[in-house]
Structure 1
């Protein structure tokens, strides 16, 4: 069942144009791949509400959110930079996802601690970001997203700077969180085979358009279009 629908979505920046129509099913992880400049980050920004389309509609769970500001969309976005505040503990950084002023109710505190525990940070909540590893900082940023309890999670290359083993660990964590919290996840990565390993579906963009989309295990082994074959470095 379609959870996210991008209906004839158009966006332009100078001479560059994005034109996308596609659907993403509920509780799926989709790897959004493509060369630099393909429009991947722009597409996530449109879904999140940080950019406004020139035309078209964005529907989440059959509700048109095209005109809503980011805070009023059922969407959370995590960027490559973790954006943790250096002077705040991991607990407070995560709690910002629940309340920007850190005015937490008892229920809010329970949500924060559950998110920290789910991310494997329960014993580190009082530490500052500088006192934990890069992977743990990324876990804290992910826990902050969880605190917002929104069903659509957008990940814009958040694990690029991590070592391969840590990237795999984070991808596995995302998959566990997706299943536990019934999330729908769209993950941008410039490492297509790593991303596809955790995703059920791959969406390949090129020059502002979705050129190919399908099940990960099929599309990564048997790309149909010359653009995707070239991107994956398949022989002609």
Structure 2
């Protein structure tokens, strides 16, 4: 079955007041861009898909991923990855430790896991960076490590919460293209929330305006 993320008549309220309403299907390798100003409910939409809506918010409708209804599953069972504005790398772990943390349990054996991490670093142009402290990385390097850590967890869909907004213009285009290319290569449906039209244009998929 092709990877698809279905948001079936999703409606989110905040203390009873309507906030977000969306009915959409995101196909494998496609990026659906959700645009709107700050405070309109873009990040809340992603929280609903992740299963992490904060108190005071409620949701109706269904969320289906690859045909499975995940609406009421806990976040760790949903197989949905997310990238935020901040990389959120673990400061107490090395670069390799951050990547190894995401490796699935079925990948057993220290040597096999280490080889997996080394291969992942090479794919993002950071071969040999495994022992490094994340604090010593540049912004672009941190963004690449955060992306690969998320992909190593083998998600079935990808959520992007304005992860490019803190990068300078040149780096923004580079990292944005890397994220979209990796998602397409792995056939992941992608839900991007942004206030920047350049992000949506680079994504090349359908665009929904909130508000």
- Gaps of at least 5 residues in structure 1 are 207-236
Render the CA deviation track for 1:172-231: whole Å, top value 9, x for unaligned.
10122123222222222221123322332222222xxxxxxxxxxxxxxxxxxxxxxxxx
Distance 1:175 1:54 in 2: 28
- Gaps of at least 5 residues in structure 2 are none
Q: How does 1:20-169 map to 2 (within 5 A)?
A: 20-51=22-53, 53-98=58-103, 105-169=110-174
What SS class does the counterpart of residue 22 from structure 2 fall into? strand
For normalisation by structure 1, the TM-score amounts to: 0.78
What SS class does the counterpart of residue 203 from structure 1 fall into? strand
What SS class does the counterpart of residue 184 from structure 2 fall into? helix
Alignment RMSD: 2.2
8 A Cα contact 1:82 1:138, kept in partner? yes
Instruction: Report how far residue 64 of structure 1 moved.
Output: 0.3
| Map of 1:218 onto structure 2 | none
**Aligned equivalent of 1:205, options 183, 188, 210:** 210
Structure 1 residues 112 and 76: CA distance shift in structure 2, 3 A:
same
Instruction: Report how far residue 111 of structure 1 moved.
Output: 3.4
Structure 1 residues 110 and 46: CA distance shift in structure 2, 3 A:
farther
Greater RCO (Cα-Cα under 8 Å, separation 6 or more) = 2
For normalisation by structure 2, the TM-score amounts to: 0.87
What SS class does the counterpart of residue 67 from structure 1 fall into? coil
| Map of 1:174 onto structure 2 | 179
